[in-house]
Chain A
């Protein structure tokens, strides 16, 4: 039996102080110690920590990752294969600091990066605007490949994961406020007795970029990976991490750790469905790879004897559109009922009418005007100097994204998970 127990500690506030500790909902962080821990190998420079809260006039850009702080009492790494040795995830006890995340920012935008506004009109478009965030700003000691639109750049992101593990150690000796329990077997027995439909969750894995830029399974880059089965507990428990940034069509460590579709499917498990697990489908580049992924995903579905599946798309637009509709069509062709979750980007580049049940989380192409903020953590200039999906140095209609007063005109790609493919937000798209 594979059972995961998550012990939750609710964070009401974060402060800096002399000793890193957690007491009555307040997380105190010793800055020096925290910085030493996240930069053990000296790859970062100009490191500074910030605490930002919902409602602050603060903008994080470029934002590169968000991680929920967690701690494993048995000493295993929170992200096996990434922040420590490879060990099977998804079982045993893990402690989580809720209502917060650790976000890393840098000076230079990588194209997959995004932005978090802690207030203003963009705040409702990102789950990360609604959390208390411990932010680490850092530059790479050796900056390189800055002329590339997407570069291998893991230093800040790794630091966020390490920082998250570091602060979570503060709850080591304490009793969690509540427990979440995840275990498939009991519900499966109940579901089988009732003859409930077998359901899986199909998740995109970003695999189309160069080695070092994709999502990771147990710390391994998913470049050229094929479809594979995972236990939902592994996803909730750090088996996946991302080298992708915080743009509008991304999910990141926090999104995996708190995936709302997995949580809801667990709620239904044994009651209305038989939740049998997760299939990762990589969104690769060539059609041949896409067809391999499609075929293997289909075979997995048949082997799992699925009746239905939810298929979630993220990780870009046009390219992964093909994979979404390949997966939906392949499953429907095998008699498996599907629902897709995706964001639009001024339409879809490829679509198949077999995908006849789709939830639209948002439209990353929608343009928003955002006011200046009192504090920018990162570099506001990066929005027009560096490459982003959501901002531009020139535009026929809108002009440059950054205006002299610090206000921005950007599209929803800019906001961290603003396309809502992970499913956190109560947002959709309607025809007017």
Chain B
């Protein structure tokens, strides 16, 4: 028999409504409120304790609330954590999300909750892959249905069954894409989808286009004559011999190489390991990628303050977006720490 802890707010515990929203955390043995329906639906598991907390209290005194709840759970063993369902109630959704996140990260047990798609708790916590937020209804009129959603996934976790993708299980996706095998080949699915689209019927794209964060162009550098300028390239330019084994694609590393003492980048000294374009021109003259001699000349003429003496480089080829974000942030932090005022970004 697996052991389950349930989290609900003061309202569903029957403590009271808005007037009791500051209710401090309390723990009860066994299921309380929606826990009774949940317990009925669970197979091979027992709700041993129910933690109750007021929504206001949780949202305004989260540290204290979490500390109190940790105290309750100190000597209690459990395999699964459930919270809600929270419907469209914003504060309740945030509380359920916060508790699921805390429990999952601290105790490493999976957590399941349920809320409506407009609940702010969804965007705040859906990125955590240890939390399953089931797709729920707007109001508690649908309590039985939403509790059933939680129980359905909880039962799969309890039984040790494989948890399938978001749409198959009814949870909001974590933004994690995984390869899976299905019935039909990609070729047949494409033709089927086209026939459906031609017929004007509903079809489901397998890849939903979400517009990326638009990067707003930086403002012009105010005083370029006194600015320290760094050069960053994603063109895969490295010293010949590639001493740090810069990959030619799917790079997860960036490197810096000293160029302060050089007056130009010369063939035979620098080359590109980029695997996404023909590197012949760059290898014949690395300056077509990073025009160091021109930059040095401008520096001598006083066109800008000074050149940061290291070249930042990585291979921008098939890089996963997440890795690209991370490397971008790391490079930004590094140039900031070196008092660099402006960056020339040399792409390919």
List residues of A whose CB falls within 8 A of some B CB. 111, 124-125, 147-150, 197, 199, 208-210, 213, 260-261, 263-265, 268, 272-273, 285, 307-308, 310, 312, 316-319, 337-339, 341-342, 344-348, 351-353, 355-366, 387-390, 392-397, 411-413, 420-432
Contact = CB atoms under 8 A, between A and B. Distances in A.
Among the interface residues B179, B181, B188, which one has the most CB atoms of the partner chain A within 10 A? B179
12 contacts: A148-B283, A273-B198, A337-B198, A348-B207, A355-B209, A360-B206, A365-B250, A392-B252, A396-B253, A424-B185, A431-B175, A432-B166
Contacts of A360: 186, 206-207
A423 B185 contact: yes
Contacts of B195: 268, 272-273
Contacts of B278: 150, 208-210, 213, 285
B188 A264 contact: yes
B107 interface: no
Contacts, number: 227
B209 A366 contact: no
B276 A432 contact: no
Contact of B274 (A125, A149, A272, A392): A149
A50 B321 CA distance: 40
A347 B187 contact: no
Contacts of B248: 111, 149, 387-389
Contacts of A421: 186
Interface in B190-247: 190-191, 193-195, 197-198, 203, 205-207, 209, 211-212, 236, 240, 244-245, 247
A427 B181 contact: yes
Q: Which 4 A-B pairs have the closest CB atoms?
A: A423-B187, A346-B320, A430-B165, A431-B173
Contacts of A420: 186
Given A317-B318, A431-B166, A394 B253 contact: yes
B178 A426 contact: no
Q: Is the interface of A mostly helix, strand, loop or mixed?
A: loop
B186 A361 contact: yes
Contacts of A345: 250, 318, 320
A39 to B, nearest CB: 28
Nearest to A320: B276
B180 A352 contact: no
A374 B173 CA distance: 40
Q: Is the interface of B mostly helix, strand, loop or mixed?
A: loop
B177 A394 contact: no
Contacts of A339: 190-191, 193-194, 197
Contacts of B321: 346-347
A176 B193 CA distance: 34
A329 B276 CA distance: 24
B59 interface: no
B170 to A, nearest CB: 13
Among the interface residues A197, A208, A348, A357, which one has the most CB atoms of the partner chain B within 10 A? A357
Contact of B177 (A263, A342, A363): A363
Contact of A430 (B166, B184, B250, B252): B166
B212 to A, nearest CB: 8
A341 B275 contact: no
Contacts of B191: 261, 264-265, 268, 310, 339
A19 to B, nearest CB: 38
A258 B177 CA distance: 29
Contacts of B174: 431-432
Interface string B268-288: 000111111111100100000
Contact of B206 (A319, A422, A429): A429
A426 B248 CA distance: 30
A287 B167 CA distance: 37
Interface string B312-328: 00001111111100000
Given A148-B279, A353-B209, A360-B206, 16 more contacts: A148-B283, A208-B276, A264-B191, A318-B317, A342-B207, A346-B322, A347-B320, A357-B193, A392-B245, A394-B247, A420-B186, A425-B186, A426-B184, A427-B180, A428-B180, A429-B207
B282 to A, nearest CB: 11
A344 B181 contact: no
A42 B83 CA distance: 72
A359 B344 CA distance: 38
Nearest to A264: B191
A243 to B, nearest CB: 13
Given A260-B185, A308-B194, A353-B211, A316 B178 contact: no
Nearest to B175: A431
Nearest to B188: A264
A284 to B, nearest CB: 10
B274 to A, nearest CB: 7
A111 B182 contact: no
Nearest to B206: A360
A15 B283 CA distance: 46
A24 B161 CA distance: 46
A388 B182 CA distance: 29
B187 A261 contact: yes
Nearest to A316: B276
Given A363-B177, A412-B179, A431-B173, A344 B247 contact: no
B189 interface: yes
Among the interface residues B174, B194, B245, which one has the most CB atoms of the partner chain A within 10 A? B194
A392 B247 contact: yes
B250 A389 contact: yes
B1 interface: no
B176 interface: yes
B187 A424 contact: yes
Contacts of B318: 316-318, 345, 364-365, 389, 413
Contact of A356 (B166, B205, B250): B205
Contacts of A362: 179
Among the interface residues A307, A339, A351, which one has the most CB atoms of the partner chain B within 10 A? A339
Contacts of A432: 129, 163, 165-166, 173-174, 176-178
Nearest to A431: B173
A199 B192 CA distance: 13
A260 B187 contact: yes
Given A149-B279, A392-B247, A427-B180, A358 B207 contact: yes
Contacts of A317: 249, 276, 317-318
